[in-house]
Structure 1
Amino acid sequence: MKIDNAHYTSPSQRRVLSNIASIAAEGHSCEQALGLVLEELHRLVPWAAMSLSVYDPITRRHRSIASSGYSDETISYLDNIYMSIDPAYRWIVRSNKPYFNWETTEFDYSKSVSARNWWLPGGYSGGSTSYLTSRSNRYIGNLHTSTDSRKHPSTDALQFIDDIAPVLATFVDIWQEPRALLRNLRPDECAAFIDRDGNIQAVPGFSCCAKSEIHELACGIVKKYGNARGIDVLGQRMPLACWHPCDETIHQVQFKMCTRGWLVVHGTTDLPFSLTVRQAEVCSLSALGLTSSQISAVLRLSARTVDRHIENILEKIAASNRAALARLAATTGVMRLSDYLSHG
């Protein structure tokens, strides 16, 4: 992290900035790094209470992920009603300002609904809200503080928080995880992020490709099985990978679990174990538990032909029986995407 602290005149600000740069480079988990950064900010803002409320673009709700001093009722207020009724917050959003404290509003904030009902009864006489954005200027959430003096936090401290907001964003942005996975895509691969309700969500900075059939099937699988527990086809009903025929090619479709859903990655590939398309179809249905007679009905083949295919498949994949085939298929991408939705 390259920093320029020349415009920070306070030695404490320069030291806090250097410490935050060090924290960002030390390889902590996001949760650990966030806690350390908030400790540094507390040196500049002597808050009696604080809450870092992060916006979830999937649920379109706010949630406090770090707080101290506030009651559960106060945190709930800040995460919900506050942003709709607090006049100072509405003022900074309307006027595109990054923060306010009790001294910078265009009115007497001590007479506001928040101050009268929450801050003054709580023993606070000052405070602030910082409207946090990422490096790409995406809204991330709010940092709320309450203090024992109208003088705190100072505008210098609030400007400092605004300056380092992109650093905070890297630790709290729910898109960081799928974006990190997306950065590792091969040139021929595409991806879509699907939330746990089975809806595609746009990942900032990445566009979804036009393979709508793959996305629709993947959405159906996530919606049907995405919250199941376990790790394999016999426990969790989410595959690690499937295959799907697409425009005379075969696509491998991978399901990568993220904190808020699933990243579905797909790209052209060859079928595993040098299987033919027909063998892969039989293998997929067999691995999902269908009998030879059921497979023959689905694929319109004779049961004898199905059995012959299964014998060849077991030899190719070096499996001793159908149970071994099912275990192997769950982790090697042999299951067909549409079969998983229809027969999983």
Structure 2
Amino acid sequence: MSRAFSQNTMGAVARIGAAASSAASVSERMVEILDQLGTVIPIAGSMVSVVDPVTNRRTTVTTSGYSPSTEAYLNSQDFHHEMIAPYSLPRLGAPVRLRDLPVDPMSLRCVAEHWQPAGLLEGALSALVTADNRYVGFVDVSTGDHAHPSDDAITVVEHVLPILANVVDPLQSAKRLVSSLTGDCLAVALGGDGEVIPLQGDLKPGMLEPRGDLYPTVARRLGDKLSSTAFLWPTPDDGWYACRAYRCRDYIVVLAPRALTHDHGLTQRELEILTLLVDGSSNEEIASRLWISPRTVRAHVEHVLAKLNVPTRAAAASRAMENGLLLSPEVIAYVRSRKR
């Protein structure tokens, strides 16, 4: 339960709020926030880490006073299993001091092997949880004084945790991008492990399957340079979603799918050939890829040009990229397997 503010804590919270809302980078803002937190806690060691929703790896935003081995341990799964998960810190949503723990602190590896040998006697560990209940990282501060952090200092930390979670949340850039889309547009963030994180709209069960192929498809289409790309993805009822993917800061990928309302009457085979035209393949190369004759390819190309009402292969490729009429190898294999 939140404690009452003293005059000193009110000032600290206000200064931290101002630092969090500045135009500086995430790491610069966190350094300033920790400096302000140092006015109420004699900080001897500190670290802020963020959980990447794409890779699920923990990476340092800023650290001070900890050895490289301590930093590596705090970012490890071992630390998560020892300190974050057992004490329900993401659910608790409040800072925990060593003296608040229900076990002997010296029984914990982080204390016995890392903090105590460095003369760090107390501290506060807090999970960073967003308003929509996503665990996005943690903040840890340590002191060389058993009396700190004080109750007043814990009050400050408790009240600024939502602010800190918002600062480090990797999906902030994705949310800003989604805010520029139309309100009726479905938008999700993609994780490298196949996780689909809803950002806007109603993501119905069975949409965007197979999930495991989504991120590799987008990564392949974006390559190293593109900030956005468009392609087709199958719907459960044998139709297509027209998808546009955007690469945001921190390499978060936002996907905005919508039901394709006009496919120009193109068959799946014609879409496959159109995709290969975009890749610059010749008729002979397309024939080899699709195990059909060059003559059949020429006939399909003529049909594609007629349906798109364009005069040349280059114009067809341009129209395909503009409208996202592109299939990935994963989609082709998946659709074929579904029809068997």
TM-score (norm 2): 0.73
**Which residue identity does 1:23 align to in structure 2?**
A
Structure 2 CA distance for partners of 1:69 and 1:315, relative to 1, 3 Å: same
Give the corresponding residue for 2:161.
165
Q: What is the distance in 1 between the residues matched to 2:234 and 2:51?
A: 38
C-alpha contact (below 8 Å) 2:50/2:168 kept by paired residues? yes
> Which residues of 2 match residues 270-281 of structure 1 at below 5 A?
271=262, 277=266, 281=271
Q: Tell whether 2:29 aligns with 1:9.
A: no
Q: What is the distance in 2 between the residues matched to 1:253 and 1:122?
A: 52
1:264 aligned residue (255, 267, 275) = 255
Count of residue pairs the alignment pairs up: 322
Deviations 1:52-96 (A, max 9, x none): 13334554453332111101111122223334345x984575994
Q: Tell whether 2:210 aligns with 1:220.
A: no
Q: Tell whether 2:281 aligns with 1:284.
A: no
**Which residue identity does 2:203 align to in structure 1?**
C
Give the corresponding residue for 1:23.
19
Structure 2 CA distance for partners of 1:249 and 1:332, relative to 1, 3 Å: same
| CA RMSD between the two structures | 4.2
Q: Tell whether 2:242 aligns with 1:252.
A: yes
Structure 2 CA distance for partners of 1:94 and 1:108, relative to 1, 3 Å: farther
Deviations 1:299-320 (A, max 9, x none): 998555445446658973x8xx
C-alpha contact (below 8 Å) 1:239/1:331 kept by paired residues? no
Structure 2 CA distance for partners of 1:49 and 1:222, relative to 1, 3 Å: same
Q: Tell whether 2:138 aligns with 1:142.
A: yes
C-alpha contact (below 8 Å) 1:188/1:267 kept by paired residues? no
Q: SS of 2:119's equivalent?
A: coil
Give the corresponding residue for 1:55.
51
Give the corresponding residue for 1:337.
327
Give the corresponding residue for 2:224.
230
2:197 aligned residue (183, 187, 202) = 202
Deviations 1:292-344 (A, max 9, x none): 4646976998555445446658973x8xx645754x3574134333568559x
Gaps of 5+ in 2: 334-340
Q: What is the distance in 2 between the residues matched to 1:202 and 1:225?
A: 15
The percentage of counterpart residues that share the same residue type is 20
Give the corresponding residue for 2:229.
240
C-alpha contact (below 8 Å) 1:292/1:306 kept by paired residues? no
> Which residues of 2 match residues 305-344 of structure 1 at below 5 A?
305-306=299-300, 308-309=302-303, 316=310, 322=313, 326=317, 328=318, 331-338=321-328, 341-342=331-332
Gaps of 5+ in 1: 1-5, 233-237
Structure 2 CA distance for partners of 1:41 and 1:314, relative to 1, 3 Å: same
Q: SS of 2:117's equivalent?
A: coil
Structure 2 CA distance for partners of 1:309 and 1:176, relative to 1, 3 Å: same
Structure 2 CA distance for partners of 1:158 and 1:261, relative to 1, 3 Å: same
Q: What is the distance in 2 between the residues matched to 1:231 and 1:330?
A: 19
